Structure 1
């Protein structure tokens, strides 16, 4: 939170919440972060007696060093990209919402969500609008943020924004960022919308995530006036052996190269800020997959991060949510 926001001591705050990040691109820091993340029962729904021995005995010792190397490839001067961009987005939002305090927190890692909520309460905040930076709702993302907010003692009264998958301002900002990328870099033969994956069983059990990813894509396709043959939707970041949402991003890129497509643009509308999954997995790893399969170039279109259009869209969303909260309480 900015110094001016703290000095003003408003009674309402806006809290941006992102997934989280290691504190450093080192194996011990990554192990702590992944340990917290993968211990969340909303993320991995396996009984602790079965999961924890595997997690702490096998997965974390093997993955931490490997993942730390990936983080080192994308680390910024001010920290991890996700941490830096989330912090900058909160700072960009503050002058657009001068009558409220604007802060940010992480679901895993620092700044920790419960501590931030108690800090706001100590500063005189009575109400906090929590905005998880996940446009599409899933129990594994927004759902676990909402559960932790509710379980935090000493927190102000809170309202959690459930989703903004088809919010007009957000759609416009993403579409404009794609157009700007095309203007600066040229346009590929296909546009691939890549969303973070989710186990199929969660969707089968009623999680609305897939439907909202498809709704976001439909709105962006409409805004960009794309023909059916000009775009595809896929899911990335599979983990474990169970069935996940498909088609997979890497498999889709291989198939496109096999069909003779030589240039592809990839955008990740499920991510508000660039992170390991966009900068390393997509822009580096999957770009190499496409070229190795016969493609010429895969160009990654960055997330909105702290772009003015992103801050404008979220500020408008916040004002609508706060108005709805006020009306509901009246």
Structure 2
């Protein structure tokens, strides 16, 4: 396999740290054709669907990609904005805000790029952008607080696939999770306190994206990290146990998924007399279809139809200053030792190479 040529080498260049922010991704438009392309890439990932490839190909192309794109497109249309995809628009604001804050903290030469695991801008595109900026150090920050093979590990696969084509690799660090990072925990808790300035609900539901139960049995730590995140946030809020719970949303297919399910929990609460509920989704760094449509519309309607009276979705942290500050602190901790704006001593390296060649010639 041929490797992509590197840019012309410049002796004595300064060290530049690239920060790669990643998220799941989004279709290009709320149309069946765009959803078909997006879902084909997303659902073919071996990390996302762990079924034998031949069987899954038949299911994916014979059933899912024939029926689901039109249905998903209608849902995306309900959350699409004048800026386009809410996930992408928020991601771009997060990138710009993090870039500004890292520069303000004077951490040396730092460049931030945004890449999506599926769709555009791709992880490969973002990595090439950082390479063109001269980055010789790379910190990858997947915006998934809780680790899962289906999200975080899949991101590593995409990064490794692109770097595998490069001739000159950057130094690499990879953040696998930050579910219990105190700055992030406080940022989520602060967002809830702000929402509760006027009134508090009877119950608070922490809703996380679901995964097949078999992932937990196979050793994926996601379920445990979700529960720890919720517990730490509830402790910051001094919430008694009876006022909050954890549930999982976005089931797909017929297999058993992580329980309890968000929809079933909300329905049970409403039928048992709970009148007011707030739902927050701490696993999502940016609002998207799963929060803006599935929770704020579908599950709201379910709760109200089941006897509830007040339902409120508390937005993701998005590009809020507290969130960006928490991410900046996380980045700062992980680039320790990289923060000095030093130069690569290529003159010494070139001199050593010249001496080595001369010695070889004399043998």
Residue by residue, what CA displacement relative to the aligned partner does 1:225-284 show, whole Å, maximum 9, x if unpaired?
000111011000000111100000000000001110011000000000000000000000
Question: 2:182 maps to what in 1?
Answer: 168
Matched, 1:150 2:160: yes
SS at match of 1:198: coil
Residue by residue, what CA displacement relative to the aligned partner does 1:285-311 show, whole Å, maximum 9, x if unpaired?
000000111111210000000000000
Question: 2:58 maps to what in 1?
Answer: 53
Q: Take 1:324 and 1:249, find their aligned partners in 2: how far apart are those partners?
A: 43
Residue 166 of structure 1 contacts residue 216 of structure 1 at CA under 8 Å; is this kept in 2?
Answer: yes
Q: Take 2:170 and 2:40, find their aligned partners in 1: how far apart are those partners?
A: 28
Question: 1:5 maps to what in 2?
Answer: none
Matched, 1:30 2:44: no
**Equivalent position to 1:302, from 315, 318, 335:** 315
SS at match of 2:29: coil
Quick check: 220-229 or 112-121, which moved more? 112-121
Question: 2:344 maps to what in 1?
Answer: none
Question: 1:78 maps to what in 2?
Answer: 83
**Equivalent position to 1:44, from 41, 49, 55:** 49
Paired residues in the alignment total 319
Question: 1:289 maps to what in 2?
Answer: 302
Shift of 1:151: 2.1
Question: 1:236 maps to what in 2?
Answer: 249
Shift of 1:117: 1.0
Q: Take 1:283 and 1:239, find their aligned partners in 2: how far apart are those partners?
A: 19
- Call closer, same or farther: CA 1:324–1:187 in 2, change over 3 Å: farther
Question: 1:246 maps to what in 2?
Answer: 259
Residue by residue, what CA displacement relative to the aligned partner does 1:90-120 show, whole Å, maximum 9, x if unpaired?
1110111123001111000000101221232
Question: 1:196 maps to what in 2?
Answer: 209
Unaligned runs of 5+ in 1: 1-7
Shift of 1:215: 0.7
**TM-score, L = length of structure 2:** 0.85
SS at match of 1:299: strand
- Call closer, same or farther: CA 1:315–1:289 in 2, change over 3 Å: same
SS at match of 1:270: coil
Matched, 1:68 2:84: no
Question: 2:193 maps to what in 1?
Answer: 179
Shift of 1:142: 0.4
Matched, 1:273 2:286: yes
Q: Take 1:106 and 1:305, find their aligned partners in 2: how far apart are those partners?
A: 16
Q: Take 1:247 and 1:66, find their aligned partners in 2: how far apart are those partners?
A: 25
Residue 113 of structure 2 contacts residue 129 of structure 2 at CA under 8 Å; is this kept in 1?
Answer: no
Q: Take 1:29 and 1:160, find their aligned partners in 2: how far apart are those partners?
A: 31
**TM-score, L = length of structure 1:** 0.94
Residue by residue, what CA displacement relative to the aligned partner does 1:187-228 show, whole Å, maximum 9, x if unpaired?
210000000001111111100001100110111011000001
Q: Take 2:196 and 2:81, find their aligned partners in 1: how far apart are those partners?
A: 26
SS at match of 2:335: helix
Unaligned runs of 5+ in 2: 1-12, 104-108, 340-363
Residue by residue, what CA displacement relative to the aligned partner does 1:18-52 show, whole Å, maximum 9, x if unpaired?
00000101110011011100000000011121011
**Equivalent position to 1:19, from 2, 11, 24:** 24
Residue by residue, what CA displacement relative to the aligned partner does 1:149-172 show, whole Å, maximum 9, x if unpaired?
122222633221010001111011
- Call closer, same or farther: CA 1:171–1:56 in 2, change over 3 Å: same
Q: CA RMSD in A?
A: 1.6
- Call closer, same or farther: CA 1:183–1:9 in 2, change over 3 Å: farther
Segments of 4+ moved more than 3 angstroms: none
Question: 2:333 maps to what in 1?
Answer: 320
Question: 2:9 maps to what in 1?
Answer: none
Q: Take 1:260 and 1:129, find their aligned partners in 2: how far apart are those partners?
A: 48
